Amino acid sequence: MKSRGAKLAKSQSTERIVHHHGSHTGTTSITGTTSISSTTCTTGTTSITGTTSISSTTCTTGTTSITGTTSISSTTCTTGTTCITGSSNHSPSSSSEELSRGVAVEKLDSVKKWGINTYKCTKQMFSERFGRGSRTVDLELEAQIEHLRDTKLKYESVLRLTSDLTTHFSFMVQTQQALGDTFTDLSQKSPELQDEFGYNAETQKLLCKNGESLLGAISFFVSSVDTLVNKTMEDTLQTIKLYENARLEFDAYRSDLEELSLGPRDAASMVRIETAQHEYQRYRDKYERLRSDVTIKLKFLEENKVSVNFDQSIDRSIDKSKIHRYEHDF
C-alpha cells in the first residue's frame, strides 16, 4: 500500500495534457508539465523536458530535444535534429520587436553620424573665423555669387517701387475715369459750356485709355520681376547655400585627414586614416557636384535676366508709341 501510494503521488506530480489528434512514432519522452494542443505529429526520437506549451499545428520529424520553459505558438514544422534549451518564446510578436529594435538602432546611428559631422563642421568654421584653418576658395565663383546677392537687393528695390507705382497709378486711372464721366454729365446739363466740357471729357477718357494700357504693362513687368527675384534668384541662392555647406564639410574632413596624416602610422591609425580618406572623397564629390550646379544655375539666371529686361523694353516702346499718338491727337 505504501509503495502504491508513492507511485500515485509521483504520477500526479507529472502533468501531461494532450488535446485533439496526436500521432507519436518512434522513441518519445515527455517529462515535466507539458501541454500539447491541436494536431501534433511527432516522428523519430523526441525528448521534451520541463514546462512546455505547444499550440496549433506542430509537425516534428527527426531527433528533437526541447528542454526548459518553452512556448511555441502558431504553425511549426521542424525537420532534422533540433535542440531548444532554456526559456524561449517563439511568436509573431518577436519579429515585430526585432524590427522596432532595428529601426531604433538605425536612428541612433543616424544621430551619431549627424553629431560627428556637426562637430567637425563647427570646428572648421571657428578655425576659419579665427584664422587658424584654411578654406577652399573659387575666386571666380565667389565673385559671381556676391554679384548675384547685390543684384537681388537692387531688383527687390525695383520690385517694391514698381509695386507702389502700380497702386498709385491705378488710383490715378480710376480718378481720370470718374473725372471724364463728370465732364460728360456737365456737358449735357450746361448747354453754354457743352463744347468745353465735352472736350475735357474726351481728353480724360483718352488719358484713362492710355493709362490702362500702361498699367497693364507695369503689372506685367512687376509679375516678371517678382518671378525672377522670388523664384529664379531664390532657387539659385538655395543651391548656393547647399554649395557653401558642402564646401565647409569638405574642408572639415580635408583638415581631419591632413591632421591624421601627420600623426603616427600604427595599425589603429592606418584604419582611421583609411576611414578619413573615404569620407574625404565622399564630401569632395558632393562639393564638386554642387559647385557645377551653381555654375549652371548662375549662367541660366543671367540669360533669363537679359530675356526679362528685353521683353520689358519692347513693352515700354509700345507704350511710348501710344503716348505719342495721344500727344498728336491732343
**Tens-place pLDDT, residues 6-28:** 444 444 443 444 444 444 444 44
Does any domain span residue 107?
A: no
Which domain does 66 fall in, by range? 15-90
pLDDT tens per residue, range 104-144: 888 888 888 888 888 888 888 888 888 888 889 899 999 99
Residue pair 76/90 in contact by the 8 Å Cβ criterion: yes
Does any domain span residue 77?
A: yes
Does any domain span residue 117?
A: no
224 and 287 both lie in a single domain: yes
pLDDT at 279: 92
Closest CA to 162 of 207, 216, 219: 219
pLDDT at 264: 81
Is pLDDT of 317 > 50? no
Is pLDDT of 314 > 60? no
145 and 62 both lie in a single domain: no
304 and 205 both lie in a single domain: yes
pLDDT at 229: 92
Rounded Cα–Cα distance for residues 206 and 329 (Å): 10
Does any domain span residue 99?
A: no
For 313-319, what is the mean pLDDT? 48
List C-alpha distances in Å: 123 to 127, 200, 256. Answer: 6, 74, 10
154 and 81 both lie in a single domain: no
pTM beyond 0.75, yes or no: no
Q: Which of 71, 90, 109 is the last residue of a domain?
A: 90
More confident residue, 134 or 55: 134
- Burial label for 249, CB within 10 Å (0-12, 13-18, 19+), is buried
SS3 55: coil
Is pLDDT of 198 > 50? yes
Could you give the percent of the chain with pLDDT greater than 90? 30
Number of domains present in the structure of the chain: 2
CA atoms within 13 A on the CB side of 21: 5
262 and 324 both lie in a single domain: yes
pLDDT tier at 157, thresholds 50, 70, 90: very high
Does any domain span residue 113?
A: no
Highest mean pLDDT, choosing among 16-20, 182-186, 293-297: 293-297
Does any domain span residue 43?
A: yes
pLDDT tier at 102, thresholds 50, 70, 90: confident
pLDDT at 259: 87
Does any domain span residue 95?
A: no
